[in-house]
Amino acid sequence: MSERNTVLRSVHDLGLAAWFGGALMGAVGVNGAARQMGSTDRDTARIASTGWGKWAPLGAAAVGAHLVGGAGLLNANKDRVRNQAAVTASTAAKTLLTGAALAATAYTRVLGKKVDLASSDDPEKREMSAKAPGDPDQAKRQLSVMQWVVPALTAGLVILNALHGEQQRPFSRGTAMMRRMSGIMGR
């Protein structure tokens, strides 16, 4: 049986790259351009909402690809995760960080939708925003923080990916195997 998982790794890594890159580009590029081009707060919010709306389907696909690839890699490496303490720990950390990044991404989307509805030219959408829980101005303030939380969390995932790659090097695996064998022999 082959130990190569090129397709799973590619799906996993490309999904994460797009998730991180899209979030960072949006915070810097989309929101920066909206601030520069918008003549009012409402214009700025509409411009940013339009840009983020264009990205949302691709962003969702990127997150999905990362999760599918990650689940496949976890299944393919379950023995290593189970038997190599450092891999178990880094996998647990990566799982928790992925959950946090997912929650932050979802929350950011909810805030963005609230701001989008409140800044719409459509009176029905503005009315929907007024009926929805939460203050649009507060959502805008929270969004200005959350736009940086998602890239920070996904950058952490990129770093943990690098750690996982290092843990697969022959020396790391050999050292772990030697420790396990010495523990068995010492009994």
pTM for the predicted model, two decimal places: 0.85
Burial of 6: CB neighbours in 10 Å, binned 0-12, 13-18, 19+: exposed
Q: What is the pLDDT of residue 165?
A: 84
Nearest residue to 153 via CA among 23, 18, 13, 55: 23
d(CA 77, CA 71): 10
Nearest residue to 44 via CA among 127, 144, 142, 132: 144
What are the residue ranges of helices labelled H in 120-169?
123-131, 136-167
Phi-psi region at 133: left, alpha or beta (left = phi > 0; alpha = psi -120 to 50): beta
pLDDT per residue, tens digit, the chain (187 aa), is 457 889 999 999 999 999 999 999 999 999 999 999 999 999 999 999 999 999 999 999 999 999 999 999 999 999 989 988 888 999 999 999 999 999 999 999 999 999 998 888 888 888 888 777 788 889 999 999 999 999 999 999 999 999 988 887 665 555 555 555 555 655 5
Q: What is the DSSP letter of 2?
A: -
The neighbour count for residue 41, using CB atoms within 10 Å, is 13
- In this structure, the chain runs to a length of 187
Q: What share of the chain is helix, strand, coil (3-state, %, to 5)?
A: 90, 0, 10
